[in-house]
Amino acid sequence: MSKVNKVVLAYSGGLDTSVIVKWLQENYNCEVVTFTADIGQGEEVEPARAKAEKLGVKQIFIEDLREEFARDFVFPMFRANTIYEGEYLLGTSIARPLIAKRLVEIANETGADAISHGATGKGNDQVRFELGAYALKPGIKVIAPWREWDLTSREKLLTYCDTHDIAVEKKKGKSPYSMDANLLHISYEGGILEDPWAEAEEDMWRWSVSPEAAPDQATYLELTYKNGDIVAIDGEALAPHEVIEKLNKIGGANGVGRLDIVENRYVGMKSRGCYETPGGTIMLRAHRAIESITLDKELAHLKDSLMPKYAELIYNGYWWSPERLALQKLIDESQQHVNGVVRVKLYKGNVVVAGRKSEDSLFDDRIATFEDDGGVYNQRDAEGFIKLNALRMRIAADKGRSMK
C-alpha cells in the first residue's frame, strides 16, 4: 500500500464506516478525519461525533448541507425535468457530487492526501464519489475499502467489531433492506426486493401512506415559480430545502411518490429498487405544467431531447463534467420566463394539474379558441403549410417509392 498520512472519510457512524475508520488506521497507519453530512436524511447526525471520538478521530466535521443540496443540486436538476430510464428521479445520484465536493474541500483544509468512502464495488456510488473527487482534485488518492478488504458480509463486519472493540448498535428487528435517505428521497434495496416478482411489503414504506389509505378528500396546492424554481407554496415564501420538506410531508400524506423499478446500473448489472419521492414527484409534474405555457415549442422540445443525456450524466456520476456544466447553462437560460403559478390536486397517489397561469404565458386564447377568433388566425394559411410539409412525400410517391 502506498503511504497515506491523512485521509478524509465520508462517515455515517453506522456499521460499515465505523469499521472503515479502524481498518484505515490499521492498514494505512494514517490519521482519519471524518465528515458527516446532514442532507435531510431525517436522522440525527450529531451522535456520529461521539462514535468517531471513541475510534480515536481528532478532526470531526459534521455539517448541515440541506440548503446547499436543495439550492445548488436538486433545483438545477428539476429545471431539466430530469428522470432516468423514464421513472427514477435520481434521489441518491444527485446527493453524491455534493458529498464528493465537501470531501475534497475538507482534504484541502486539513492537508489530507486521500479520501475514502463506504460504497461497495458493485454499485454506482463508488463511481459517483470518485469521478467527482478526481474532477475537483485530480491528484487525490481514493481508498475504497470494499474493493480491498475481505470483510464481505455483515457477519464478518460484526466479528471485526468484536475483535477490535468497536461499539456498534446491534438492533433487533433491523430492517432487511439497504436504505439511503436524503432531503429528496428514500431508497430501499435488498431483502425480498432482490426477487423482481415479489411485491414490496407495505410496512417497508416510511415516508408515505398507501394510496388506498390516503384521504378521501383531495388536497390542493398552489406553487409559485420564478425562473423555473418553486419560491412559494400557497403564497408562503420558502427556501428551496423548505419547499422540498413541505412537499414531502403533504405528498406523503396523500400517497404520492412511491416507485418500484428495475434499473440499469452504470457498472452493468440490473438492480431492483423501491423509492419514495413525494416532493420530487409533485415538483416534476408542476414544472412541466408551468413550462407548457411559458416555453417556446422548439425550446421545450430541445430540452426534452437533451434530458435523457442529462439524466444519464447525473446517474453515472458526471455532475462535474464539462458536458453537464454546458447543458446546465442551456437549461438555466431556458428558464428566464418560466414564471407563474401552478395549482395541483393531490389525491390517492395522483398529482393532477388543476390550473396554471403566468404573466409570461405564450398561450393566446384569441388564437386557440374554438369560437370566433375575429380574424386573428387565417385558417387558409394552413393549406400551403401542409403542402410544403408534404412535398418530399409527394415527390417520393411520384417516383413510385412505396410508403408501406
Return the C-alpha cell found at 75.
433545483
User: Per-residue DSSP letters for 103-135?
Assistant: HHHHHHHHT-SEEE----TTSSHHHHHHHHHHH
Cβ contacts of 255 within 8 Å, gap of 6 or more: 208, 209, 210, 211, 212, 213, 214, 348, 349
> Does residue 16 carry a catalytic annotation?
yes
Q: At how many degrees (to 10) do helices 154-164 and 15-27 cross? A: 60
- The active-site residue, picked from 66, 96, 258, 356, is 96
Between β-strands 229-233 and 350-357, what pairing exists: parallel, antiparallel or unpaired? unpaired
CA 167 to chain centre: 32
How many angstroms separate the CA atoms of 105 and 265, rounded? Answer: 28
Judge whether 324 counts as a catalytic residue.
no
Say whether 125 is catalytic: yes
Q: How does DSSP assign 242-307, residue by residue?
A: HHHHHHHHHHHHTT--EEEEEEE-TTS-EEEEEEE-HHHHHHHHHHHHHHHHHS-HHHHHHHHHHH
> Which one-letter DSSP state was computed for residue 201?
P
For residue 249, give every residue at least 6 positions away whose Cβ sits within 8 Å of its Cβ, in sequence order, or none. Answer: 278
H helices present in 297-357, as ranges: 297-316, 322-334
User: Do the Cβ atoms of 312 and 82 come closer than 8 Å?
Assistant: no
Q: Report the distance separating Cα 348 and Cα 70, nearest Å.
A: 26
Which listed residue (12, 102, 116, 125) is catalytic?
Answer: 125
Q: Exactly one of 16, 38, 180, 229 is catalytic; name it.
A: 16
Q: Is 116 annotated as catalytic?
A: no
Owner of C-alpha cell 396554471: 356
Q: Which residue is catalytic, options 49, 113, 178, 332?
A: 178
Active site residues: 16, 96, 125, 178
